[in-house]
Amino acid sequence: MADGQIVVSGLTKLYKNVRAVDNLSFTVEPGRVTGFLGPNGAGKTTTLRMLLNLVKPTAGDATIGGQRYADLADPLRRVGAVLEASSAHKGRTGINHLRVVCAAAGFPRQRAEEALALVGLTPAAKRKFKGYSLGMRQRLGIAAAMLGDPQVLILDEPANGLDPEGIRWMRDLLKSLAAQGRTVLVSSHLLSEMQQLADDLVIIAAGKLVRQGTVSQVMDSMAHTAQVRVRTPQATELTEALRAVEQATITPNGDGVLLVTGVDAPTVGRAALKASVELHELTTERPDLERVFLELTAGKAAIR
């Protein structure tokens, strides 16, 4: 398969006076699921649409496997996309929706049936689109994206409107597609979902790149926000002992528990030993993605 690396460099989009996307650069590697995260209005959708030649960038460019989308000879065989604000004609059946795409892309007709079977929609093939539930619509979108058996998959908020079972189905599908060596780029504002699904993360806010890396790299970069949880029957003595350590911030959490930030667990342990304070518990609590995300994007309001 051709190299499916996505490279976004210096991408900028100006709408009137708003910089929806501001000099954004990142790369997405094949064989991995990359989560594209940002609060609502961060510019995720605009970025994906620029990548797919649907929106003209003000500056910069984006390539898939070294080529711009508009220059791909057989775009649907290279890239499959499921975008928001993309739908099917309400009065057209699901199978006919896929047949139209097949006809335009020059695929054989039976690809429509195959793709429909892949997403489990065969029983609803001859039902009109207006009779589809939200989850079925999302599945039909994925079927359309899979028609050309593409190396690269781009999905904009695919979990929207899916029930828990649908979300699990989607997660398993995307993971298996990445395991086959495909590039999978998924945008979302649902962090918990990304933590379970993504290998890599690209986080943007207010149109700008905030962090890029593997999930653990992004978490580590926020290690200074890690907190130490310590439980002791002598909370007052320990608090006094820790006061001597300058950077420590101490928050009592009831039941003899203190939450300490600014210092690591060994420092807390040494301070306790020196003051002869009895400890019942001492653990480092890594921040979850949700907290990292909120901290990274804090103050970059979505409404601009």
Partner 1 sequence: MNLIRAELLKIRSTSTWWIFLLITLPLWGLTLMFNGFQSAYLLSPEAAEGMSGEDAEQIIAAGDPANVAANLYTNGQFFGVAIVMLLGAIVVTNEYFHQTVTTTFLTTPHRTRVVLAKLFAASVFGLVLWVITTAANLPAGALIMGANDEASYMGDGTVWRAIALNGLAYLLWAIFGVGFGVLIRSQIGATITALVLYFAGYIGAAIFFGVLSDRFGDWFNNLQLLVPSLASQLMVSGTELPGNPPQWAGALVLIGYAIVAGTVGTLLMRTRDIS
Binding stretches for partner 1 (CB under 8 A): 45-46, 49, 52-56, 69-70, 72, 75-76, 79, 81, 83, 85-93, 96, 99-101, 103-106, 144
Report the nearest approach of partner 1 to the CB of residue 173 (Å).
20
Strand partners, 34: 185, 200
Taking the complex as a whole, the smallest distance from the CB of residue 180 to partner 1 amounts, in Å, to 22
Q: Is beta strand 59-64 parallel, antiparallel or unpaired with respect to 33-37?
A: unpaired
Q: 300 is written with which tokens?
A: 């970059």
Cβ proximity to partner 1, 39 vs 43, nearer residue:
43
Question: Minimum distance between the CB of residue 144 and partner 1, rounded to whole angstroms?
Answer: 6
Name which of 103 and 244 has its Cβ closer to partner 1: 103
Torsion sign, CA atoms 265, 269, 274, 277: positive
Using an 8 Å Cβ cutoff, are 84 and 160 in contact?
yes
CB of 71 to partner 1, least distance (A): 8
CB of 229 to partner 1, least distance (A): 46
Instruction: Specify the residue, 144 or 210, whose C-beta has the smaller distance to partner 1.
Output: 144
Report which DSSP code applies to 241.
Answer: H
What tokens does 121 get? 């929609």
Annotate 135-153 with b (16+ C-beta within 10 A) or e (fewer): bbbbbbbbbbbbbbebbbb
* Radius of gyration (C-alpha) of the chain in whole angstroms: 24
Q: Which is nearer to partner 1, 73 or 303 (CB)?
A: 73
Q: Cβ 186 to partner 1, closest distance in Å? A: 17
CB nearer partner 1, residue 41 or residue 241? 41
**Smallest gap from residue 131 Cβ to partner 1 (A):** 14
Give whichever of 18 and 105 is closer to partner 1, judged by the CB atom. 105
Comparing CB distances to partner 1, the nearer of 37 and 52 is 52
**CA 44/CA 212 separation, integer angstroms:** 14
For residue 116, what are its two tokens? 């429909």
> Nearest 10 degrees: CA dihedral of 55, 59, 63, 68?
60
CB 207 within 8 A of CB 64: no
**Measured from the CB of residue 79, what is the shortest distance to partner 1 in angstroms?**
8
Helix (H, G, I), strand (E, B) or coil at 138: helix
| C-beta neighbour count of 253 within 10 angstroms | 13
Angstrom CA distances, 263 to 57, 237, 242, stand at 45, 17, 10
Give whichever of 55 and 282 is closer to partner 1, judged by the CB atom: 55
